[in-house]
A and B are shown apart, each in its own frame.
Chain A
Amino acid sequence: MTKFKTFSLTAISLAIFVATMEAQAQWSSLKPSLQSDVQIVAETKKRLVLYHQSPGDSLIFTSSQEHDSDIYGAFEVRRGGNPYRVWVATEKFFNNPRFAGESGKKFFRKSFLRALRQDEPMAAPAPRRFAPTTERLDVTSAPDSGETQIEKAGAKKFNIENVKTELAAWDSLPPGEKKDSLPIPLNQPRRAEQPVEKVFAASSNSRDARRKLVEVKSGPRYGKIARQTPPRAEVVTSYALIDSLYQSALAAVKKEDWRLAAFNLEKIQLLQPNYREVVDLLAQARVNLASAGKPEAAAEPQKSRGAYVFVGGAIAALGVFIALIVLPFIGVVLISPTARVRYHILRGHYAEAAQIYERLLARRPQRKKFYPALASLYLRLGRRDEAALKVYEIALQSDLADRSREEISAIVSNNYLTKGRTDARAIEVLEDALKAERLKQRKRKPQG
């Protein structure tokens, strides 16, 4: 019955655990850390968008690292423990005066900021190509089909399908209403430095990327773009063209035709600065264009780094093996008295070996198994003193190798005869010695 209860309890615990596995709580641990005036404008399984009126900008949390994450989720593992989630702030977050430092407190409580991890510095890679385009575009062009999306008032998800639908609806409006009901906030505030930082974050150690970004940052167009806000009417008239250019640019990015992509995106920039992801995509296209020219050079440092990692890993594995297996074994051998005795015997240091047994027996005289070994050592040392004779006597009562038994028996019996002992024990030993002597003689006869 008790067994039944045990297994029932375990089964129930397991069932509760499995049933609640889907109730993902990554945002639950985060929400208590938000300041009261922070609004959650969008919440999905993979993404949480926060808004604070005072900094006047949104903050994007993603459950894993993505190109537009301000803060993303990762897992830490500790020995002996389960993996747990931590939040990692990207360079984008730390470099933004609206978020980092004291301003971060507008969004989060101190405890959260203290626990916030910094993005690990990227290991010196070659100027790499961006992640597969489809992967990157999925973020903006395809809604997450599997997730439960909780869109709150004021939040709007911009993707290609939405844009098309809204444009069609907008086109059908009477001309008078069109002006005041633009389908997309074309002039939504967007920080000009953001795309630069994104690219920088993606390849912060790449000289090429740095050079390109410096060019982008210092170029006349960048500054101009960042400040331009053209009149709405002009934008509206060219919207169809912009959209077609944008679609064409996206298709080129998908095909990794960076030249065509850059060309189309440049055009869009001229017509409608800061249009959707154009600045970002343009920077991406430029970096990829630059890196496409020298793929071998780019691959080389990675390869050599890989070799170093392999060698380092092999050394680490060897170190762990030595740590876990070899040295504990050596440690055991070093502290094992039997092993030390064997070592001394191998080197012919019988006295040292005997001393080890003497010390052990002094501490624990009841350990009978050491006496035969000690007696053998005394035999080799030729000892006949009183202490040795006591050891011989006790050893004779234990299992002894035949040859040692004969010799020890002879020594002890001689001692008894010398002392004139006639007690039962002495007689027993003498008889043994006599038997051994007869056996010896019988063996010798056939030879003689």
Chain B
Amino acid sequence: MKNYWPFATRNFLVISLLALPACLPAQRISDFKVGYSRTAIREATLEKVGSLEIDFYRHNFELELGVGQAFIGLTYQYATKKKNTEKIGNTFGKTEDGAMLTAGYNYIFSRNFRLDGYGRLRIAGETQPAQALYATEADAHLKLVLSDADGVSAFFNGAVFPSTYAGVNVNKFGRVQGLAGAAIWWNKIGLSLAGFNAFNGVNEALNPGKDVDKIFANLKNSGVSFGLTYEFHNFMIWAKKNFALKNGGNDLTLSLQYQKFFVKRRIKS
């Protein structure tokens, strides 16, 4: 059995030791975040194929260091499938891992609008984009978020905080996804509803044409997702259920995050 851990661990340590602290003096670090999430993909929907029972699992370990409204981080992703099963999905992919550098910036226009941009860059990983268990990505995300700092008091005694966003994702293969969503936050509990739709890419996985070498990284997918978050102290538990509409997985993600802010920036109202 191949052991991928030394390779991944080395990447993680090299980047953590060389790239991050060297360029970020402690005084500039305003927060740090660590997180773990596990995604279970038990069913996939493919155009002209229908639903397939599969057994894919993804484990993500994330580290982010914040400098004001910007951050730089590293994500290690470990993807696997259940062994000894005869399900169709198991003919795709294999146990793989990879690491991605992440960076982003959150621009606050006003108390109502912010622009959130971040990108991921695959720095290590063996999985081929033609495999269903494609583990790493190189992409860029941009979204404009509309919210209100005071919230609204329409339904509850305390304020509730609705927000909505629209954005776009582009991956390194040029697949463009549009996304839109709305969320509501009340008393440490958040609920969200989001939808995404790819405008280009491989329409039919069984008929990829010239994109045979990157089918699953470039799948023309679309779906809706429902999210639930709960915050306590500096922790956040997060659950997200994704439903594929055209192509993609019907997956459930569970996540635990810890984020500690050393500096809170205040803006005048």
Mutual binders A and B? yes
Q: Residues of A with Cβ closer than 8 Å to B?
A: 2-3, 6-7, 9-10, 13-14, 16-17, 20-21, 23-26, 28-29, 32, 63-65, 72-86, 88, 117, 120, 316, 319-320, 322-324, 326-328, 330-332, 334-335, 363-364
Q: Which residues of A contact B154 (CB under 8 A)?
A: 20, 23
Of all chain A residues, the one with the shortest Cβ separation from B30 is: A79
Cβ contact within 8 Å between B157 and A28: yes
Contact of A13 with B193 at beta-carbon distance under 8 Å, contacts A28-B157, A328-B72 already known = yes
**Contact among B67, B161, B181, B269 for A63, CB-based, below 8 A:** B269
As a 0/1 sequence over residues 139 to 176 of chain B, the CB contacts with chain A under 8 angstroms (1 = contact) are: 00000011111111110011111111000000000000
Q: Report the nearest A residue to B124, measured CB to CB.
A: A335
For this complex, 22 residue pairs linking A to B, each with C-beta atoms less than 8 Å apart, are A3-B222, A6-B245, A10-B180, A14-B182, A23-B154, A28-B158, A76-B264, A78-B31, A79-B30, A80-B104, A80-B106, A83-B108, A83-B111, A83-B114, A320-B68, A320-B70, A327-B18, A327-B20, A331-B14, A331-B15, A332-B123, A364-B126
Docked Cα-Cα span, A199 to B212, in Å, equals: 73
**Contact flag A319-B182 (CB < 8 Å), given A13-B164, A75-B267, A79-B71:** no
| Residues on the B chain within 8 Å of A6, using CB | 195, 224, 245
At the interface, yes or no: B9 with Cβ under 8 Å from chain A? no
Q: Is the CB of B145 within 8 A of A77?
A: no
Q: Which of B84-126 contact A (CB under 8 A)?
A: 101, 103-104, 106, 108, 111, 114, 116, 121, 123-124, 126
Bound complex: CA A32 to CA B264 (Å): 24
Bound together, the chains give a CA A316 to CA B24 distance in angstroms of 10
Instruction: Give the residue name and chain of the A residue nearest to B263 (CB).
Output: A78
Give the shortest distance, in Å, between A77 (CB) and chain B (any CB). 5
> Top 8 A-B pairs ranked by shortest CB distance?
A13-B182, A25-B159, A25-B153, A28-B153, A331-B19, A82-B147, A64-B269, A323-B23
Q: Are B152 and A77 in contact (CB under 8 A)?
A: no
Question: Counting CB contacts under 8 A, is B199 at the interface?
Answer: no
The complex places the Cα of A16 from the Cα of B161 at a distance, in Å, of: 12
Nearest-neighbor residue (CB-CB) of A21 within chain B = B148
Cβ of B269 and Cβ of A14 under 8 Å apart? no
Chain B residue contacts of A17, Cβ below 8 A: 146, 162-164, 182
Task: Tell me whether A7 and B18 are in contact (CB under 8 A).
Answer: no
Which of A28, A79, A330 touches B68 (beta carbons < 8 Å)?
A79
Complex CA distance for A240 and B69, rounded to whole angstroms? 57
**Further 10 A-B residue pairs, CB within 8 A, beyond A82-B161, A335-B15:** A13-B164, A17-B164, A28-B157, A75-B111, A75-B266, A77-B264, A78-B31, A83-B147, A331-B14, A335-B124
- Are B265 and A77 within 8 A (Cβ)? yes
A79 touching B161, Cβ below 8 Å: no
Contact with A along B236-269 (1 / 0, CB 8 A): 0000000001000000000000000100111111
The answer to whether B14 and A25 touch across the interface, beta carbons within 8 angstroms, is no
B106 to A320, Cβ gap below 8 A? Answer: no
Q: How far is the CA of A84 from the CA of B261 in the complex (A)?
A: 15
Distance in Å: Cβ of B183 to nearest Cβ of chain A: 9
Q: Evaluate whether A324 and B149 lie within 8 angstroms (CB atoms) in the complex, with A28-B158, A73-B269, A75-B269 already known.
A: no
Residues of B within 8 A of A323 (CB): 23-24, 67, 70, 72
Q: Is B1 an interface residue (CB 8 A)?
A: no
* Cβ-defined contact, A21 with B180, below 8 A: no
Q: Report how far A88 CA is from B111 CA in the complex, Å.
A: 17
Asked whether A7 lies within 8 Å of B195 as measured between CB atoms, the reply is: yes
Chain B CB within 10 Å — which of A7, A26, A65 has the most?
A26
The answer to whether B201 has its CB under 8 Å from any CB of chain A is no
Nearest opposing residue in chain B for A367, CB measure:
B126
Considering only residues 195-227 of chain B, those with a C-beta below 8 Å from chain A are 195, 197, 222, 224
Give chain B residues whose Cβ lies under 8 Å from the Cβ of A120: 266
Is there a chain A Cβ closer than 8 Å to B82's Cβ? no
CA distance in complex: A67, B249 (Å): 57
Q: Which listed residue, B15, B18, B28, B197, touches A316 by the CB 8 Å rule?
A: B28
- Hey, which chain A residues are within 8 Å of B103, CB to CB? 324, 328
B11 in the interface, Cβ–Cβ < 8 Å?
yes
Check A14 against B164 for contact (C-beta < 8 Å): yes
* Nearest CB of chain B from residue A86's CB, rounded to whole Å: 7
CB distance from B263 to the nearest CB of A (A): 9
Residues of B near A84 (CB, < 8 A) are 149, 161
B106 contact set on A, CB distance < 8 A: 77, 79-81
* Complex Cα gap A153–B154 (Å): 25
Query: Which A residues touch B14, using CB under 8 A?
Result: 331, 334-335
Verify if B129 is at the interface (C-beta below 8 Å from A). Answer: no
